[in-house]
Amino acid sequence: MNKIWILIGVFVMVGAAYSVVVPLGEAPDEVSHWAYVQYLAAYQHLPSPEGAVLGESHQPPLYYVAGALATFWIPSQHYEPLANPDYALGDPRTPNLLLHTRSEGWPYQGAALAWHLVRLLSVLMGAVTVWSTARISLELFPDREWIAVSAAAFVAFLPGFLSISSAVNNDNLVVMLSALGALQTVRLAGRLAAGNSAFSNAPLGRSAERRPPLTHRWRGSVILGLILGLALLAKLSGLVVWIFAAGVLAWSAYRTRSWKRYALSMGIVFACALVIVAPWMLYNWAKYGDPVGWSLVLAATPGRQTPMTAGDWIWWAEQLYTSFWGRFGGALVIRMAEAVYAGLGIVALGALAGWIGYAWDGRKGRLAPGVLKALGLCALFWGVMLAAHIRWTMTVLGTDQARQLFPGLPLLAVVLSAGLARLFQAREKLASVLWSAGALGVAAGALVYLGSVFSPGVPSPSAPVLLDGHRPADFGQAIRVVDYRVDRTQAAPGNSIQVQIEWQALEDLTENYWLLVQLGDERGAIANKDGVPSGGRTTTDWWSKGQIFVSSHTIAIPADAAPGTYTLRLGLHPMGRWEWLPVGGGDMMEMAKIRVSAGVGQ
């Protein structure tokens, strides 16, 4: 297992790097998940379905309780996400949904420290999932450590798994508990079989003296029950592992004809699970009228208004495929190169091709122990999970994210790795090393890519940009407009005006200044554009003296704008305070006269 522990250590380091590179709140639904943690830490009771918690208020509380317990001691945790007004879906210039001020910078303090600690807690949950994957593999293939290494590496370095494991998201806890539940189910079934062939690799007829002690078996039932209960307290999708455990134990009872033993074990398992979830279910019953708060789930989740079409299903499958390998950002619009998705799919298909060899072995009567067991367990878990997910997809929107299927990732990794081992059975060790190294390479490449995407891209302070030759204008003693360019001075209603501005910091700034570009006349403004001067990337409290920034801003002229001549002005003020920085003896500088003609533009 030394190899596995080394692999887990590398995973923790890479996961921690992901958690630092991706700005706070720039992972799927992370703001709502963090708001839930923050609420529990502040008020010590479950939140109402409103405010920032609204998107996740229907979730069971276990993950958020863990996050609150890990961070309650940190003072000044209040955090207000700052929406990026320049964000445009699919625009690579503004990949960030939020604006990130220096309060999020190193050394972390207050809310930023608490948020990063919960991210690190998620990474540790991912590490347990990686460990569980290796242990499941060793339960099924006890003498083939390299299959366990390959399976653990597949999970550990899957960019999609790494990105969610480095974010605040309750999927991390339910995936971990599902992995532990699958592992304990396999162990318990093997112990209960005690010499039978259904879930044991031991030869038939092994003596009763070799069977595990009775108390040992029942202790395993209690442990499985606790895991199942906690999985449901992590997320409702934890019910999948309940069905999986019941199916595995029932099948094992059928194969061994040990109905009494398995019935008693299943009774202990599900009694313990129900004891764990009973308080939460009673709370839901009293507050919402049903044990799992289903009415709240449906109220907080956007419902599907029309039936799924063939095109919808194709799009859904493509989204699941790409997000399985890795799509990033708060809206999951940051994609890797298409060649990467294609290449990873080909490698996975190649690993599955090894199962053709197992089929041939089966025909020849020389099938390796554990092979059918691994395939059956994976098929059962994924069959239940996909059936539930498809049904859920027909009910609500937002089910195109593969992280919702990651509870089945460990078993899938074992099946793929077993196929790889069969494909390269003469060089199983070499294949495992190359597989693991390649997976790590993809994970590292995705990390570097995300670093470049979320980098503010600060230009050199000694490289001014030639625009239209306007005279510089200083806003107080803080920021200078070195030059600017307005792309048009005549427009029609419905047109847009593009303004490019070259900025320079006159001092090391500590304030987050806000920009207002305004088009209007003596009667008032007809169009306003506000945001940070950088055009949606870095806030000004990161700017250092002498640095130069170039930004672009779009001002949309209303379709009902009256014809006439308007003035385009620019002003700066601290975020949240209308205290204008003086410029040229006034509050705003005039940039251009814009003539708006009659008629709607194209």
DSSP for 407-463, please give it.
GGHHHHHHHHHHHHHHHTGGGHHHHHHHHHHHHHHHHHHHHHHHHHHH---PPPTT-
Record the tokens describing residue 345, joined without a space: 């799919």
b (16+ CB within 10 A) / e for 85-120: ebbeeeeeebbbbbbbbbbbeeebeebbbbbbbbbb
Domain stops at, among 400, 418, 453:
453
Distance between terminal CA atoms of the chain? 66
Q: In terms of domains, do 317 and 372 share one?
A: yes
pLDDT tens-digit readout, 392-406 = 999 999 899 999 999
Report whether 601 contacts 492 (CB < 8 A): yes
408: its two tokens? 């089945």
Q: Is pLDDT above 50 for 209?
A: no
Q: What pLDDT was estimated at residue 466?
A: 63
Instruction: In whole angstroms, give the CA distance from residue 464 to residue 233.
Output: 56
**Does residue 274 sit within a domain?**
no
What mean pLDDT value characterizes the chain?
Answer: 90
In the predicted structure, residue 240 carries a pLDDT above the cut 50: yes
> Cβ(419)–Cβ(354) under 8 Å?
yes
How high is the pLDDT of residue 246? 96
Residue 575 CB: number of other CB atoms within 10 A? 15
Domains contained in the chain, number: 2
Q: Are residues 418 and 478 in the same domain?
A: no
Residue type, 503: W
Category of 216 on φ-ψ map: left (φ > 0), alpha (ψ -120 to 50) or beta: alpha
- Do residues 47 and 9 share a domain? yes
Q: What is the CATH number of the domain that holds 577?
A: 2.60.40.3880
Cross-strand pairs, 15: none
Look up residue 493 and give its two tokens: 């209603």
| Residue 132 domain flag | yes
Q: Based on the fold, state whether residues 371 and 411 are members of the same structural domain.
A: yes
pTM: 0.92
Are 593 and 549 in contact by the 8 Å Cβ rule? The answer is no
More confident residue, 368 or 424: 424
Neighbours of 63 (CB within 10 A): 29
Enclosing H/E stretch for 570? strand 564-574
Q: For residue 359, what is the enclosing H or E element? A: helix 338-364
393 and 439 within one domain: yes
Residues 545 and 486 in one domain: yes
Is 268 a domain residue? no
Q: At what angle do helices 371-393 and 110-140 cross, to 10 degrees?
A: 140
The pLDDT score that the predictor gives to residue 214 is 55
CB-CB contact of 491 with 453 (8 Å): no
- Would you say residue 211 has pLDDT above 60? no
SS3 assignment, position 551: strand
- CA-CA distances (angstroms) from residue 573 to 124, 354, 579, 588? 42, 64, 5, 10
Domain that holds residue 397: 2-170+305-453
Task: Specify whether 501 is located in the same domain as 558.
Answer: yes
- 30 and 78 belong to one structural domain: yes
Helix axes 214-234, 62-71, angle to 10 degrees: 80
Are residues 15 and 156 part of one domain?
yes
Burial class of residue 172 in the structure, from the number of CB atoms within 10 Å of its CB (0-12 exposed, 13-18 middle, 19+ buried): buried
For residue 161, is it within any domain?
A: yes
Residue 208 lies in a domain: no
Statement to judge: residues 311 and 398 lie in one domain:
yes
Query: Is position 433 within any domain?
Result: yes
Same domain membership, residue 479 and residue 352: no
Lowest-confidence segment of 90-94, 407-411, 551-555 by average pLDDT: 90-94
Task: Label residue 185 exposed, middle or buried (CB < 10 Å: 0-12, 13-18, 19+).
Answer: buried
Q: Does 462 map to a domain? A: no
Give yes or no: residues 447 and 326 share one domain.
yes
The confidence band for 57, taking pLDDT boundaries of 50, 70 and 90, is confident
Share of the chain above pLDDT 90, in %: 75
Which residue, 403, 418, 453, sits at the end of a domain? 453
Residue 432 falls inside a structural domain: yes
